[in-house]
Amino acid sequence: MNVSWRKAKSWGLALFITMAVEMFLVSQCFAKDTHGRPKKYDHTTSPGVTLNVTDKEVVIDNGIVQITIANPEGYLTGVSYGGVHNILEYHNKEPNRGYWDVVWDTNGYNGTDWLLGSSFNVVVENEDQVEVSFTYKWDSTTWNTSQVWRIPANVDRRYIMLRGSSGFYAYSILDREEGMPAAKMYQIRSVYKLDEQRFHYMAISDDRQRTMPMPQDRDTGLPLAFKEAVLLTNPTNPDFRGEVDDKYQYSCEDKNNKVHGWISFDPQIGFWIITPTNEFRSAGPVKQDLTSHMFHSAHYAGYDVTMSFQQGEPWKKVFGPYYVYLNSISQDTDFHQLWDDAKHQMIQETRSWPYEFPLSNDFPKSVERGFVFGRLLIHDRYKLRTIMAGSYAWIGLAAPGVAGSWQTETKVHVGYQFWTRADRNGGFLIKGVHEGTYNLFGWVPGFIGDYVYIEDIIITQGSVIKLGNLVYEPLRNGPTLWQIGIPDRTALEFYVPQPSSLFVNKLYTDSDQNKFRQYGLWERYAELYPDNDLIYTVGQSDYHTDWFFAQVTRKAENNTYKPTTWQIIFALHDVIPSTNYTLRIALASATRSELQVRFNDPELTIPHFTTMVIGSDNAIARHGIHGIYRLFNVDVPSEWLCVGNNTIYLKQTKHESPFFGVMYDYIRFEGPPPTT
């Protein structure tokens, strides 16, 4: 519920002061660094921004960076910086250097729309800022008649350059009006192709950066199980011989995709994409994606996150702005400082969000947004009698729905989500929330399931909403008799094998946290279990070493595959008659799988429980340690159990592909509630 400004006065004043200090720090520019670090520019002494428009191109220049844009199409043809005339791949055709695209379909057509504009407009032009717009107005009279299909939406692509800024901002607005045809959108992204003769070093995080193979190395390599994976057999750099090149090995969760880019060694220049917020990305903070500038995709989630619009369904969304940041250092300086500087710039951009300078009426400024604060507590009566703090919980606002629905939310309430991480005491503050109606969602590492505060939270301009103490009671029927894994929504704690020596990415050979990114790990299962499937004995086995990270199919003759059945053996000293026990299975991933559960009889015709066929996240093939989180709760009548050893049979029945299978997050077996 909304609280009055009077009640929130002291707290709001403290927040205002904090935000003011942050904005002051962000606004500071520094003079030239004398210690070899990347140069910062002083807004007060930098030259003004200029705009030059011809029939064919639009050029924006602030004396630091110059960008050239096709007129009126809106794709980027050139970026000049640091003495380099064009750091984009100038050997490519102009439309294939810096562009947006949408993969989509409708009845009778599927393909890609490059969001090309048909009209150009200057939004603002002065010495401090230039903003330009390239628009396309969807025309119903050409629908089904043109040889060039266009997505049924109006398009507004924009570029912003500020005085003293070592880069530029970009964003797009897609607008479906009432009456437009049905359509599905599978992928929305922005792409920059850099000069391949200069930019060879890629950086995603502190521990994921390296010199990369050349495009021609893939052409001469050996294709593997899917087109994205190639074994480098004759690379231009012999150090890469025998390595696998696969773009999915460089994926990451959206919450971590704040800055990434490439470095040129001659001259030493960095090109970085900085995303100060995830609010315009789909499906929440742990949605995984390629480390390119994806706004929406089905990667690691499948068709569950497809944007599907009905005939006449209206919708509008702003994607961005994001910041394209360029930096440089002298040749005798350690090039890693370019990455360090990009991280520092990312922090400044994040503190500046929401930006005040974009001039679209569809992008709400700070005063047009609201914020929500509160504290999440946990009551798990079988873990601790007292209420405990929801330490480091993930808390977010998304479209109203059931617990966990945010994972597949892409367009309801436009598709914006607003997430934060609670502190150690469970306290949270969500800033910069658009006007609208939301539910509050969350989950806490170490506890099973999803939390939802189902009362509507209505955000208006300037809202200050205090939720107070919220209590999450994780699903629980009785005491834990045994458990496998850690409820953290991933399979990372389980056994991830070493890759085959034939398929190694050297970047990950010494990284326990990234072992799962190696190619071909699904084939290691049959090598480790050549005759029989996995058997796990509670009290004797260790899930770190004895539970394979994914229940995959088993390769057989003639490139066929067989289903696998895993066993969990556990002992019961007594069985309480006429009661229900509970089996909870939390899945971190599922790809076209059906998990059947049987107790003490593997040949039972009808399983005691089945998930039915679920999942299309493809995390096994794409080196992801999780996809969409799913929790299944199975009531287990005492008649299914016996005193002494019991066996649970987990059979994954679908076996048409080596990539069909599930990853477990956590399994718990609960006894019946104690009688009083």
The reply to whether omega before 499 is within 30° of 0 (cis) is no
Structure tokens at 335: 């090039």
155: β partners: 136, 174
pLDDT in tens, 46-93: 899 999 999 999 999 999 999 999 999 999 999 999 999 999 998 889
Q: Stretch 343-372: mean pLDDT, rounded? A: 96
Structure tokens at 334: 């350690």
For the chain, give the mean pLDDT: 91
The pLDDT of residue 293 is 72
pLDDT in tens, 365-409: 999 999 999 999 999 988 777 899 999 999 999 999 999 999 999
Cα–Cα distance, 585 to 46 (Å, whole number): 59
The pTM is what? 0.90
Q: Is the pLDDT of residue 34 over 80?
A: no
Rounded to the nearest 5 degrees, what angle is found at the Cα of 346, between the Cα atoms of 343 and 347? 95
The string of DSSP codes covering 131-172 is EEEEEE---GGGTTTSSS---SSEEEEEEEEETT-SEEEEEE
Q: Is the pLDDT of residue 36 over 80?
A: no
Q: Stretch 547-572: mean pLDDT, rounded? A: 94
Q: Cα separations (Å) of 225 from 504, 598, 662?
A: 15, 33, 19
The pLDDT of residue 643 is 97
Q: Is the pLDDT of residue 288 over 80?
A: yes
The pLDDT of residue 545 is 97
The pLDDT of residue 39 is 60
The pLDDT of residue 454 is 84
Confidence band for 148, pLDDT divided at 50, 70 and 90: confident
Share of the chain above pLDDT 70, in %: 92
Q: Stretch 598-626: mean pLDDT, rounded? A: 96
pLDDT in tens, 163-207: 999 999 999 999 999 999 999 999 999 999 999 999 999 999 999
The pLDDT of residue 9 is 33
Q: Stretch 519-530: mean pLDDT, rounded? A: 94
The pLDDT of residue 146 is 63
Q: Is the pLDDT of residue 324 over 50?
A: yes
Phi, psi angle pair for 155, to nearest 5°: -120, 135
Cα–Cα distance, 646 to 88 (Å, whole number): 63
pLDDT in tens, 82-119: 999 999 998 889 999 999 999 999 987 889 999 999 99
Q: Is the pLDDT of residue 12 over 80?
A: no
